[in-house]
A and B are shown apart, each in its own frame.
Chain A
Amino acid sequence: MSTKAATRKRSRAEVEAEKPVLSSEDEFEIPEINGDEDSSDDSDFTAGDEDSDEEEEFSSGAEEEDEDEEIDSDEIPSEDETSPKENDVANGDASDDEETEPADNVKVVTGADGNPRYIYPEIEPVYDSDDTDAEETNTIGNIPLEYYENYPHIGYDINGKRIMRPAAGKALDTLLDSIELPKGWTGLVDKNSGAALNLSEEELEIVKKLQRSEITDDGFDPYPDMVEWFSSKVEQMPLSSAPEPKRRFVPSKHEQKRIMKIVRGIREGRILPHRPQAEASQEPEFYDIWADDAPPKPDHVMNIPAPKLPPPTHDESYNPPPEYLPNEKEKKEWEEQDPEDRDKNYLPRTHKALRLVPGFNGFIGERFERCLDLYLAPRVRRNKLNIDPASLLPKLPSPDDLKPFPTTCATIYRGHEGRVRSVSADPTGVWVATGGDDGTIRVWEILTGRQVWKLKVSSDEAVDSVTWRPTPEGRILAAACGNEILLVVPPIFDFEEENQGKEILSAGYGYAANRQGKKEAPGTWSKPDAGLEEEGVVVTITVRKTVKYIAWHRRGDYLVTVSPEDVRKAVCIHRVSTHLSQTPFKEKSVTKGIAQRVQFHPSKPLLFVATKRYIKIYDLAKAELSKTLKPGARWISSIDIHPQGDNLIVGSYDKRLLWHDLDLSTKPYRTLRYHDKGIRAVSFHRGGFPLFCSSSDDGTVQVFHGRIYSDLMENALIVPLKVLKGHKITSHLGVLDVDWHPKQPWLFSAGADGTARLWN
């Protein structure tokens, strides 16, 4: 008998033997159900029920008992094992004895042919029977059972005896069966017995488990506790008794092969076992690297060689001239300085003899610094100008060549109370008119400074602007006070002149009357009241808002006024000969800002209007905007046009004086910033001298030489000449207005300190 069969048998026996164990476990969990069935455990569990306090103890006791049972059940197969063996031995003996003599339990009968016939006893179909096929008792083979339907038997057993059909129930039974299916019913008929094939309790359990995809074996633990075989604990016995493999102590053939390969290489000289280090040093360490006499490196912009250290100076000497030695103060200063701030890393010292010279402390540090500089300091190419700085200065004509120009204050005109707002020189060059905050217009004799005439126009409003009519005949003075413009013929001239002026002014009265009622004019021309008329005022023009500035046309027929407060009709042109006022621009077309100043072009029909930022030039003949200048100033205060008409100066409150060349660009040609405060007024000389000036709130008037060449290609020459100081600054205001003498290089200025001055 083979061992294999034995083990299989054993496993089967185990399965069988475990059954009671399982049942007992079931009992433990649900004792009520199965308690009656197994009487052996009954007593235990009743006890457990009775004494609930000692349940634990009991349960453990029950477990112990289970274990006992298990052991018992284990023992069962071993016992069983022995018995079949014995049987087997008996069988074997029997088979062995078959040829010689039949065994004891064999009946010998004489067969039909007369020969003895051995009849063996029925083999008991027990579990551990060796014949596994013996279960199939029906020997009909693979024939459908229906064939036997008409017979009382359903087949034959191994001995050829009929197997009788089990008694079938009555029709009622089958009906009942069909209504209430018994447990384990499959609807199949057992081939061997002919009875209904029903599944047993265990088989159903297994099917259920399979359905739940559980392991069918009862008591199989899929997650057992791991046994750590290989731990730090040294075991007494080896885990495996496998003998040491051979490869552990026999030299490797493969290695042998590789070694032999190297050995062969060494023998043949292919491999040098210790490559001599001399191999590298065999070639000379130094050789003539420049033997090819290559040309030097060509200079490249990006190649910046490191600058050489400067050679030492006298003060680095060990025995310098005594003047190089620092005194106590310098020494202290040097010592107090941060080492990085010092311009030299040594203090000059003197030594009487060379043997007294100590070592220099910072030598390594200095060398190290140099090393760092060489590889860490960014290098830049810097062009060094080696020229005399004086050659950079522009060649300016000396002030002596540019003479004459005003240099000193010659006359002071005193009398105004409060600021002098405006100053204007008479075209004949004898009188000068001023207007001030005290509401008076005054006329002075230029040379003596004597006040010859005075007119109190208003008690509360200032005279903002006074201007003489530019033509020599008819001495007419235009003055702006509040929203009124007064055209005055001061009674200081001889009768003829005075009359001439009055005639010119009063010629337009008829026209004004004719035009009345047509349309509302921006200005109303009227006769002044009697008091004023006596004083010499001929006409007053009343406009809507305060007039800040008046400018005459060169022929003296027109005058233009600005009233910045009147946004819609800021600029008005008044015609003297017809007593008419009009606004030259359609509403709002002129000013995107507030109009500051207006000027007529000295020769062409152009009108210059300065707003806060821009200067717009209007062509009056075509009635269109011809050009806009952009000086770039924040707030333009004043403008003036060169008498030749091609250049323009602009003064601004942001301290700048801008020179525009009208032929060139809308941007300024020169920007001069020499004032400390905002510029109030600028003015060109109109009498043939190439001079212009600017006055500012810093109390100074600056005089420039501004020569324009007839050659268009040549730029204007501008030379600063003189700063005239004299006006005092009163409440942040300095010189408010300037005007040139019509013929002489003399300058009039009106200051906030209540004086007007003549400079020559």
Chain B
Amino acid sequence: MGKIKKKGVAGNARNFITRTQAVRKLQISLPDFRRLCIFKGIYPREPRNKKKANKGSTAPVTFYYTKDIQYLLHEPVLQKFREHKTFSKKLSKALGRGDFSDAKRLEELHKPRIKLDHIIKERYPAFTDAIRDLDDALSTVFLFANLPSNRDIPPKTIETCARLANEFQHYIIRKHALKKSFLSIKGIYYQATIQGQDVLWLVPYKFAQSVPRDVDFRIMLTFLDFYTTLLGFVMFRLYTLEGLVYPPKFDKKMDEMGAGLRAFSLESKKVGELENGANGEVVVRKDVSKQLETLGEKIREIEEKGEEQEDTSVVPATEEGEKVNEGLDRFTAIPSKDGATTDILEQPTEDLGGEGKTSNMFSEWTVYLSRETPREPLEFLLRSFGCKRIGWDAVLGEGSFTRDDRDPSITLQIVDRPPQVGLPPMPAGSEAQEVNAGRGKVMGRLYAQPQYIWDCVNAGRVLRPDSYAQGAELPPHLSPWVKANDAEYDPTAPVEDDGESEEEEEEEEEDVQMLENGEKNGVEAEDSEEEEWGGMNTELAGEGKEDSEEEEEEEEEEGGVALHESDAESADDEELEQLQHQRELEAEAKGVTYKDEKKSKKSDAKKKLDKEKKQREDEVERQKMMMTKKKRKLYERMEYGNKKKQDEKERLEGKRRKIEREKKKGKN
């Protein structure tokens, strides 16, 4: 016999610790514990057996994994929290004494600053781990970048977020990493692939956000602290891998003028700098900073020039810096003179066919954004897919390729307003347009609504712009992440609009009013009866009719008796069967007069179908009888889920049919 196991020393009882216990063990306050959990990514668990984990009590409590808490005991951040506690005591003492200079000194010199570097390394030992977890970080950072600062949110935080967001966008643009984007009612979703990991984030539209009352910004800011640190390290790594200097140069003046992405200029690391890095760091840094100062000016000069000239590339040189070196070199085996064969190694080839083409989809275009279009997302999207020349109205901010909407080099203009009626199209660059500037269409360019760009991106190719013309009714914008499969409704697939289904629907619609059609009544009655009976007996009903013809008379008698009896529920199935049969006969007799051949055939087929369905259901029911309870429950759950999906699909299909029919009617 085995040793008797003691309770509460192993398993669930040992693995889990309640929150109160954890807080007590760490000797910190609850808010501090929460902050620590957010930083360390510690989350509550659901023990398999709550009763065992909670020492026999079933009270609702939060459990943590004991080892998580154990690790927290040695956390440097925990030490910082304690330091902060003593510091805040000192500070409040100084303030209470009115010793403001001392308080200021304390605040400046002795405030403990929490560093999260080690936590980031601990939570994400490998770089790919960090990238996999970027979704929430990016969404939060993009949200805060678009928020106004208030009492809860210091302006510096917002500045940092905006900077990080822009840096990230720059990286995406440079790597052509953007894959999909979607205009939702919540905001704009983007998906990029970084180092083989898909990252999906959501950017709100540029509107003032309404702040709900129940939002605790302290929690949000704690998350944001972590996310900004994480993004900072990720950006550093990404930029470094790209051979770029991080942080990129930021032109404050440009930013104030609303240049957005253009306020940043990427610069590649120079070989000289790398070499000098070891001995004369300080010197080099100074030089570089000087260089940078001048560089910015130079770039601006170039840009200004670019604006004056028409067709020169105005993109900062840094952006295209390494294009030459980026690709792989081709190794060709040199045959030896004596003719001996050499081994030829497999060489990775860049997939320039599909991928490269897609990522430079818009490279040939010069795009002009009208002033009613959202500039930031469009600029980001266009640039991610290779477009270099994007101009926009002066209202939309600085950094435009051209501000002249009559620029003849423009090939596509994005417009989001209905066309002006009654204005003749104008030739590009003509004098006449000066008179009624910016009102009529300019010839020689395409006009499309913003959705065109998104649909092109999601389709992976340049679509025909016809249906996206100015003022045209747009085709529906679909989510690129929904994969068409059998179980779900696919809006792109044509829906079979056969007459039967239509009828069915009509029936559904009109089921309230009673039809006098006898045949129909018969069918309905049959349906309802069958439903009532269910199970195995339907089969019986069919066979019984044939077999027991002898007893029919007797049964009839019996049936009559049964009907008169008060206990109608327990009526014989034969009797019911008989009744039904009779009703059918009556209906037939009535219906013959007007029912046509086709319809009866259809109803026959339908009956047959129904019967088959019933049989199938019977069979399943019989099989379910033989399943264990556990399996049966599992099966029923799965069936429930599938049925829900199916119902949703049918609902949508039905709606679509209806809409299409209405459309047809409208046309006729």
Contacts and interface: CB of A to CB of B under 8 A. Distances in A.
B620 interface: yes
B324 interface: no
A118 interface: no
A521 to B, nearest CB: 47
B113 A280 contact: yes
A333 interface: no
19 contacts: A293-B127, A311-B479, A313-B481, A313-B482, A317-B183, A317-B477, A353-B449, A359-B210, A360-B204, A364-B211, A364-B215, A377-B43, A380-B46, A385-B634, A389-B639, A393-B635, A398-B619, A719-B626, A720-B626
B622 A720 contact: yes
A285 B247 CA distance: 10
A362 B143 CA distance: 12
Given A297-B126, A353-B416, A367-B139, A372 B219 contact: yes
B130 A290 contact: yes
B474 A359 contact: no
Interface in A339-383: 346, 348-349, 351-355, 357-368, 370-372, 374-380
B109 A275 contact: yes
A378 B450 contact: no
A283 B451 CA distance: 46
Contacts of B634: 385, 392
B543 A407 contact: yes
A288 B204 CA distance: 31
A346 B491 contact: no
B135 A308 contact: yes
A302 B215 contact: no
Interface residues of B, number: 116
A719 B621 CA distance: 12
A725 B219 contact: no
Interface in B611-647: 619-620, 622-627, 631, 634-635, 638-639, 642
Contact of B43 (A274, A306, A322, A726): A306
Contact of B450 (A346, A354, A366): A354
Q: Report, nearest first, the 3 A-B pairs whose CB atoms are least far apart.
A: A359-B207, A311-B481, A296-B126
B186 interface: yes
A313 B489 CA distance: 11
A355 B540 contact: no
Nearest to A348: B185
A643 B191 CA distance: 71
Given A361-B210, A408-B540, 7 more contacts: A280-B113, A306-B136, A359-B207, A363-B204, A378-B45, A393-B620, A728-B572
B652 interface: yes
Contact of B477 (A287, A320, A385): A320
Given A393-B620, A726-B574, A295 B477 contact: no
Interface of B: 15, 34, 37-38, 42-46, 62-63, 65, 67, 108-109, 113, 117, 120-121, 124-130, 133, 135-136, 139-140, 143, 147, 182-187, 189, 191, 200, 204-205, 207-212, 214-216, 219-220, 223, 232-233, 235-237, 240, 246-247, 372-374, 416-417, 449-451, 473-474, 476-479, 481-482, 491, 535-537, 539-540, 543-544, 547-548, 551, 554, 567, 570, 572-574, 619-620, 622-627, 631, 634-635, 638-639, 642, 652-653, 655-656, 659
Nearest to B567: A728
B38 A354 contact: no
Given A296-B125, A302-B67, A728-B570, A354 B451 contact: yes
A719 B45 CA distance: 44
A190 to B, nearest CB: 78
B476 A320 contact: yes
Contact of A314 (B37, B482, B626): B482
B212 A364 contact: yes
A296 B544 CA distance: 70
Contacts of A242: none
Given A314-B482, A346-B185, A370 B638 contact: no
B186 A316 contact: yes
A365 B217 CA distance: 11
Contacts of B547: 408, 410
A119 interface: no
B301 to A, nearest CB: 31
Given A289-B121, A319-B451, A368-B220, A375 B37 contact: yes
Contact of A317 (B185, B236, B639): B185
A317 B182 contact: yes
Contacts of A285: 232
Which of B113, B125, B246 has the most chain A CB atoms inside 10 A of its CB? B125
Contacts of B44: 376-379
A226 interface: no
A699 interface: yes
B208 A323 contact: no
Nearest to A356: B416
* Interface residue tally on A, bucketed by range: 35 or more
Contacts, number: 286
Given A311-B481, A410-B548, A722 B536 contact: yes
A723 B567 contact: no
A412 interface: yes
Contacts of A370: 136, 139
B468 to A, nearest CB: 11
A346 B659 contact: no
Contacts of B653: 323
A441 B623 CA distance: 41
A374 B136 contact: yes
Contacts of A234: none
Interface in A269-313: 274-275, 277, 280, 285-290, 293-297, 302, 304-306, 308-309, 311-313
A312 B474 contact: no
B143 A364 contact: yes
B135 A309 contact: yes
Contacts of A348: 185
Contacts of B659: 322-323
Contacts of A729: 567, 570
A140 to B, nearest CB: 82
Contacts of B479: 311-314, 316-317
Interface string A696-726: 0001000000000000000000111011011
A450 to B, nearest CB: 13
A392 B211 contact: no
A359 B209 contact: yes
Nearest to A396: B623
Contact of B184 (A306, A318, A375, A380): A318
Contact of A323 (B46, B136, B204, B656): B656
A277 B627 CA distance: 73
Contacts of A28: none
Contact of B572 (A385, A407, A726): A726
Given A316-B186, A723-B536, A321 B211 contact: no
B125 A392 contact: no
Contact of B237 (A290, A321, A375): A290
Contacts of B451: 319, 354
Which of A308, A353, A366, A374 has the most chain B CB atoms inside 10 A of its CB? A353
A361 B372 CA distance: 22
Nearest to B235: A286
A383 B49 CA distance: 17
Interface in A385-421: 385, 389, 392-394, 396, 398-399, 407-412
A277 B67 contact: no
A285 B117 CA distance: 9
A674 interface: yes
Nearest to B626: A394
A324 interface: yes
A362 B417 CA distance: 27
A36 B580 CA distance: 144
A399 to B, nearest CB: 8
A323 B133 CA distance: 35
A368 B481 contact: no
Contacts of B63: 378
A293 B125 CA distance: 8
